[in-house]
Amino acid sequence: MEQFTVKQMDNLNEEELTHLVEESKREGFRFLDRLIRDYKNGSNAFDQRGESLWGVFDQDGQCVAIGGLNRDPYATETSVGRLRRFYVSSTFRRMGIGKLLLKRIIHEANLHFHVLVLNTDTERGDKFYTSFGFIQESRYPQSTHWLRLK
């Protein structure tokens, strides 16, 4: 795992994500397009208290995975964080990259929130998140899974 580095992305570089966006679209996912659009127009720049955007980079500096942490916009309380725009390049799946990234985001979420929620519509996503202790339950609005923090 030492050939991969998890870094906070303070300034989104659209060009370094082009390959991930294109690959995700081929798989039928549009949320990385939305990530870039929302970041550019300022509607979600991961810049509120407790929010952050993370990437996993290989030894050549190429981003191979991305994921973000937001305050949950659907929750009434500010203690709920939301995992957003989580994607790992298919070439790098089953190598521990997703685990590495999710562990980092959960660590960060623990500093700011009491609960972390997410929404996934794939069986693979469900299995991945439940392996981290997320509970599959629509307890929170617009969410399929939640995890108690702290």
Q: What is the pLDDT of residue 146?
A: 98
Enumerate domains of the chain plus CATH numbers.
5-148 (3.40.630.30)
Q: What is the pLDDT of residues 84-101, one digit of tens each?
A: 999 999 999 999 999 999
Task: Please report the sign of the dihedral spanned by the C-alpha atoms of residue 124, residue 67, residue 37, residue 62.
Answer: negative
* β-bridge mates for residue 147, sequence order: 116
pTM exceeds 0.85 = yes
* β-bridge mates for residue 5, sequence order: 57
The amino acid present at 115, given as its one-letter code, is V
**Cα 100-102-106 angle, rounded to 5 deg:** 120
Segments of the chain with pLDDT less than 50: none
CB burial of residue 42 (10 Å; 0-12, 13-18, 19+): exposed
- Percentages of the chain per state (helix, strand, coil), in multiples of 5: 35, 25, 40
